[in-house]
Structure 1
Amino acid sequence: MKKYIIYGLLLLTVLINSCQKTKYPGGVISPYIPIYDLKNLYKGSDLTLTAELMYGSNAISGVVISDHSGGNLPAGLLIIQDKKRLSLVRGISIPIGADATKYVPGDSVAVTISGGVLTRANGLLQVTGIAPTAVTKLGSGKTITPNRVGSNLVLARPQDYESSLVAIVKGGFDPIPQPTDTYSGDKLLNDGFDNIILHTEATATFANNTGLPFSANYYGIVIPKIGSDGKLVAQHRIRTLDDVVVLSSTVEIPSAIISGLIADPMGTDANNEYIQFIATRDINFAVTPFSVVTTNNAGASTPTGFPTRGWATGDVRTYKFNLTSGTVSKGEFFYVGGANKLINSTGSTSIASAKWIRSFNYSTTDGDGFGTKTTNLLANSGNAYGVALFEGTAVDVNTRPIDCVFISSGGSLFSAGPPAVGYRIANNDFYDAINPITLAAQPFYRQGTNTLFFPYHPNTVADQGYYYKFGGIYSVTLGKWVKVRSATHFQLTKTSQLNEIEGVFPAPSADNPDGVPATALK
C-alpha cells in the first residue's frame, strides 16, 4: 500500500510541475464587448461601466450609421452598430459633441467606454461621459447591409432596434400625402405590418421638401421617445433624402383580391372546389371582364417540367375561368369554382345564394381558353398550387396578374434559364415584380424575394374539409395592404354556414380575442 501511495505522490508532483512550466497563456478576452451584450447590462438604472462588468472588455467597435448632414438626428450623437452576437444587428448612441459630425456612415470605429455611464436619456439608451478622444477610426467605406424589419417588430420591441439602421420596405403614408405636404413633423408610415412614426425635425435640411412618394423604402435610424404611459415609442428617422428610395409614385389598386379557398373539401373534390374574392370597387363583368387561373403542380400534372408558358400553360397544369357577366359591389365577396356551389362537398350546406360570378363542372368541361377537364383544380399532393386574377380574358405567357397567391413551394415552378420561365406574380402583400431592396427585376414566383407562400394545413389527411381564410386588411384609400394576409386553416363541417367563411369565424375566444375575421377593406 505504501508503494502505491508513493507512486501517487510522485505522479501528482509531475503533473504540478508540468502545469507550472507550461507557456500556454489560456484564452484571451476580446477588448470589445458586443453591443448586444452591452445593452443587456442595462436594467433600468444608470450603470457605470467597468471591465469587470463588461466581462473583461473595455471598448466596443462597430460601423458608424449616423449622418448629421441632414440635421435630422439628435445633435452630438455618434451612432454605431454591430452584429457580433447571434448575427443580430444592435446599435448604441454615444454623445461626443461636435466631433460626431466628423464620422460618416461606413466608418469603422473603436470606442473605449470603460468609465462611461450606460443610461437612458430622453428615451434613448446611450453611453455618456465619453471623450471624443476615446474614439478611434479604424477604416472607412464599410458596407452596411440593409436590415429589413417589419414595423410591427420595431413597435413591439423598440429597445432592440433603437440606434440601428432599419429599412422600412414598401412604406406608404397614412393618409396619402397631398402634393403640398412636406416631411416636417410626425407622419404615419405603413409597410403592411403596422403604422410607425416617421419623424422629421423642423430644422432638418429636407423638412420642407414636398413630393412625398406613394411607395418607397425608408432607411432610417430608430430613435425612441418616452410615451405618455411611460413606455418607449419607436420613431423612425431618415438621415437625408438619400435614405428614401422611391418604388412608385402612382396608386395601383386591384379591382378584386383573393380572400380564401377550399382545395380539399370533405368528400369528392370534383366540381366542389371554389375560390373566394372580395371586390375593391363596383364591377360589371360584362363591361370589364376578368379571368381566374388556377395552377396544379402535382407530380402527375401535365405538361411536366417548368411551366414554359406560365399561367397559360394549360392541359392539367393551369385552368382558366372567364368572368364576363354579373356584377359585384365594392366590399362584396364573390366566388368562382364548381357548379355544385356547396360549402364542403357532397351533402353539405348550399351556398348558391352567395355571389357566384362563374361556376361550372370543371371535372367534365375544359377551361375557358385553356385547361383540360380535371377532378382537381388545386393540388393536394404537397406540391404548390396557386390562383391568379387577371384583368381581361386574354392570358398568355407575358400577362401579369393583378393578384395571386400560392400554397406551398414544391414542384417545378421556376427556372432562371435563360430564358427564365415560371408563374408571373402580382405586386401585392407577398410579391414584388421589382426587388424592393436591390431594384432588380424578379417577375416570377420563387425568383428573388418572391418566395413567400401559405403553408399546407399540418393535418395532411385527405378530405378533411379545411378552408383557407386569408384575412388581412386592404386599404382602398391608400392602395395597399395595411395588414398582410396570413392563412388561417379551419375545418368546415357538412352543416357549416356561409357566415363562417365571410365573417368572423372561428369566433373570439380567450386564446384569440379577435377571432378569425375574413379579408376586409379599409
Structure 2
Amino acid sequence: MKKFILYALFLFSAAVTFTGCDESNYPGGTISPYIPIYDLRNIYKGTDVNLSIDNMFGSNQVTGVVVSDHSGNNLPSGLLVIQDRRRLNQLRGISITIGAEAANYIPGDSVNVKIDGGILKRVDGLLQVTNIPASAVTKVGSGKNIPPNRVPSSYILADPNRYESTLVAIVKGGFDPLPQPTDVLSGEKTLNDGFENITLKTDANATFANKNNLPVLGNFFGIVFNTLVNNEIVPQVRLRTESDIIYLSSTIEISPIIISGFMADPVGGDGNYEYMQFLATRDINFAVTPFSVVVTNNAGASLPTGFPSRGWATGSLATSGAARTYQYNLTSGFVAKGTFFYVGGSTKLINGAGSPNISAANWITAINYTTIDGANGNGRRTTNVIGNSGNASGIAVFEGTNVNVNTKPVDVIFIGSGGSLFTAGPPPVGYRIANTDFYDIVNPITLESQPFYRNGSNTLNFNYLPSNLGYFNKLGGIYNADLGRWVKARTQTGVLLTSTSTLTELEENFPVGPTPDDPGTPATSLKQ
C-alpha cells in the first residue's frame, strides 16, 4: 500500500508537470540549457537515441565534474567521464566519447558539453554519448571537490546502472584469494568489501599494472564501468592511478571466535534463560587458551551511571543493584573449527521456562546469573543480562579473562544506540570495539583513530525485536578465516521460536525458503 501511494503521487505530479505546458517541463520559467545526467540516462530505453533539444526537454548540454584520469592508462581510451547531482540530489555519471582529448581533463575539472546531435547508446555494455567532437567540451572551472562516495559492492551489483560512470570508494576491500607478495594488479581481481565480491579490472598497459605487495585491506577508489557478459550487464571497477589505493592493513587479524546469535528476550521471565551463540574459526581448548565474554546492559537502573569509565569492566564498580557489565569466563571445554557453542543461563532451555532443553548443544559456560556474580568481580547477579529495549546492549569476546579499561575485544556487536556510551573527553571514555564487519578502530575514510562504539563512524547497530515473544536473533554472516575478515556482513533475522523448536532452527537454514533456489535464513558460517 505504501508503494502504491508513492507511485500514485508520482504519476499525479508527472501528469501536472507534462500537461501544464506542451513543450517544457518547467512551465512558466526559462528552460535550463543543461539536462541533469539523471534525466539524460533515463532517456535511454534499450535502443540508440539521437539526442536533440526536443527529446532532452529543451536542453542541449550536460554539465558536471570530471572524475576520469587517463594518466594511469587504465580507463577506456577516449572517454570523458563526468558526474553530477542536479536531479533530486541523486549522483549519476555518464561517459562521453571525445577521442584523445579526453586525456586533457583531470578529476575536479568542471565542464559543459554540448550533446545535441550526439547518440546515446550502449557500447559493449557501457552507456555513453558518442558522436561528440572534442570542441563541444568547455572547461569552466577546476579543483572542484569530489567527496568520497562509499558504496557497498552489493549495492553496485544490485543496480549497476545507478553507479555506472561514477567514482566510488570500495572501503575495507580485500582480495580473494589473498595475494602473495609477488602477485600484481594486472588483470581481473576479485575484491570483497564485506558485502559482496566485485571485479577490479587493471589493463596490462596501466602504469601500475605490475604493482605488487598489495594490501590485505585497503580502500579502492575507482570508476564503475559496465560490461556485457553472456548478454547481461556486469559492473567492474577500474582504478585511475596508483594513488587510488589507500592501504589500511598489511597484516591478517583472525578472530578466533565470532558472535553468531543471541536470545535476549525469551517468552516469560528472562532470569537464567538468556544465552548467546558463537562460532569458532579454529579449534579451541579453553583450558589451554581461555577466553571471556562480557555483556553490557545500559538500562537506566544499571550501575554505575554516566559514561563507562572502565569500559567493558565498568560492572566491577557496582556495589549493589544491576551492573553495567557482566562477565563470563570460558576456561574449560573444547570447540572445533566451524562449529557453534553457547554461553548463558544454566537452564539451557531454548525459549524460556517450559521450552525444549538444548543441553545437547556445546555449552562452554552456563551459570545461573540470577544468583552468581560476574566473573572476576565484573558485574553482579541480575535477572536481565542482555537488554530487551531502550538503551544499548552489547556483547564482546576477549582473549583471556583479564578484562580492563584498555582491553580490546576480538569481536563485538551492539543492539540499540541509546544511553551514555561514549564521550570524547578528554579523556575519551567508552566501550572498545574490534575491527569487524560493522566497526573500525581507524576510520577507513579519514584514517582517524576511533576505538570506541559511537566514536566516529562506529555507529551501526542491530535493533531490539518485539519483546517477550521469543525471538532468537540469528546474525547470518559469512566469515573467511583464511583472510581474517567478513566476506558477507552479518544481518539480523528474528527467528520466532515455538514450544517445539530445536537446535536446527538456530544452527541451520531456518526458516527454509519456499523454493529449492531459496535457502531460507542461514546461520553464520565460515567460507569453505
TM over 0.5: yes
Q: Equivalent residue for 1:397?
A: 405
Q: Equivalent residue for 1:372?
A: 380
- In the TM superposition, what is the alpha-carbon distance from 1:123 to its structure 2 partner? 1.4
Q: Equivalent residue for 1:352?
A: 359
Q: Does 1:69 align with 2:71?
A: yes
In the alignment, the residues of structure 1 paired with residue 57 and residue 355 of structure 2 have an alpha-carbon distance, to the nearest angstrom, of 66
In the alignment, the residues of structure 1 paired with residue 476 and residue 106 of structure 2 have an alpha-carbon distance, to the nearest angstrom, of 44
Instruction: Write the mapping of 1:162-177 to structure 2, written as runs, cut at 5 A.
Output: 162-177=164-179
Instruction: Write the mapping of 1:38-437 to structure 2, written as runs, cut at 5 A.
Output: 38-228=40-230, 230-314=231-315, 315=318, 316-369=323-376, 370-437=378-445
SS at match of 1:501: helix
SS at match of 1:155: helix
Deviates more, 1:509-518 or 1:317-326: 509-518
Deviations 1:194-215 (A, max 9, x none): 1111011011111111111111
Q: Equivalent residue for 1:5?
A: none
- In the TM superposition, what is the alpha-carbon distance from 1:324 to its structure 2 partner? 1.1
Deviations 1:268-301 (A, max 9, x none): 2111111100000001111111110000011111
SS at match of 1:234: strand
Q: Equivalent residue for 1:503?
A: 508
In the alignment, the residues of structure 2 paired with residue 502 and residue 117 of structure 1 have an alpha-carbon distance, to the nearest angstrom, of 55
Q: Equivalent residue for 1:450?
A: 458
In the alignment, the residues of structure 1 paired with residue 472 and residue 157 of structure 2 have an alpha-carbon distance, to the nearest angstrom, of 32
- In the TM superposition, what is the alpha-carbon distance from 1:512 to its structure 2 partner? 8.8
SS at match of 1:298: coil
Q: Equivalent residue for 1:15?
A: none
Deviations 1:459-505 (A, max 9, x none): 3xx42111100011111122211111001002112321111111111
Contact 2:389 2:464 in 1 (8 A): no
Amino acid corresponding to residue 378 of structure 1 in structure 2: I
Deviations 1:247-276 (A, max 9, x none): 111111100100000011112211111110
CA shift in 2, pair 1:489/1:511, >3 Å: farther
Contact 2:63 2:110 in 1 (8 A): yes
Q: Does 1:520 align with 2:525?
A: yes
- In the TM superposition, what is the alpha-carbon distance from 1:509 to its structure 2 partner? 1.9
Q: Equivalent residue for 2:474?
A: 469
Q: Equivalent residue for 2:18?
A: none
In the alignment, the residues of structure 1 paired with residue 172 and residue 306 of structure 2 have an alpha-carbon distance, to the nearest angstrom, of 34
Contact 1:161 1:222 in 2 (8 A): yes
In the alignment, the residues of structure 2 paired with residue 382 and residue 335 of structure 1 have an alpha-carbon distance, to the nearest angstrom, of 25
Give TM-score scaled by structure 2 length. Answer: 0.92
- In the TM superposition, what is the alpha-carbon distance from 1:520 to its structure 2 partner? 0.5
In the alignment, the residues of structure 2 paired with residue 166 and residue 210 of structure 1 have an alpha-carbon distance, to the nearest angstrom, of 23
Contact 1:170 1:436 in 2 (8 A): yes
- In the TM superposition, what is the alpha-carbon distance from 1:86 to its structure 2 partner? 2.0
Structure 2, unpaired ranges of 5+: 1-26
- In the TM superposition, what is the alpha-carbon distance from 1:382 to its structure 2 partner? 2.2
Contact 1:259 1:278 in 2 (8 A): yes
Give TM-score scaled by structure 1 length. Answer: 0.93
SS at match of 1:37: helix
In the alignment, the residues of structure 1 paired with residue 37 and residue 354 of structure 2 have an alpha-carbon distance, to the nearest angstrom, of 62
Deviations 1:322-350 (A, max 9, x none): 11111111011111111111111111111
**Root-mean-square deviation (CA), in Å?**
1.3
Amino acid corresponding to residue 60 of structure 1 in structure 2: V
Deviations 1:72-119 (A, max 9, x none): 001111111111122221111111111111110111111111111111
In the alignment, the residues of structure 2 paired with residue 417 and residue 123 of structure 1 have an alpha-carbon distance, to the nearest angstrom, of 52
Alignment length, in residue pairs? 494
- In the TM superposition, what is the alpha-carbon distance from 1:365 to its structure 2 partner? 0.9
In the alignment, the residues of structure 2 paired with residue 131 and residue 264 of structure 1 have an alpha-carbon distance, to the nearest angstrom, of 66
SS at match of 2:403: coil
Contact 2:296 2:312 in 1 (8 A): yes
Amino acid corresponding to residue 180 of structure 2 in structure 1: Q
Structure 1, unpaired ranges of 5+: 1-24
Contact 1:122 1:226 in 2 (8 A): yes
In the alignment, the residues of structure 2 paired with residue 511 and residue 444 of structure 1 have an alpha-carbon distance, to the nearest angstrom, of 42
Deviates more, 1:287-296 or 1:25-34: 25-34
Superposed structure 1 runs of 4+ greater than 3 Å apart: none
Amino acid corresponding to residue 463 of structure 2 in structure 1: P
Amino acid corresponding to residue 522 of structure 2 in structure 1: P
Contact 1:298 1:380 in 2 (8 A): no
Contact 1:284 1:325 in 2 (8 A): yes
- In the TM superposition, what is the alpha-carbon distance from 1:508 to its structure 2 partner? 2.0
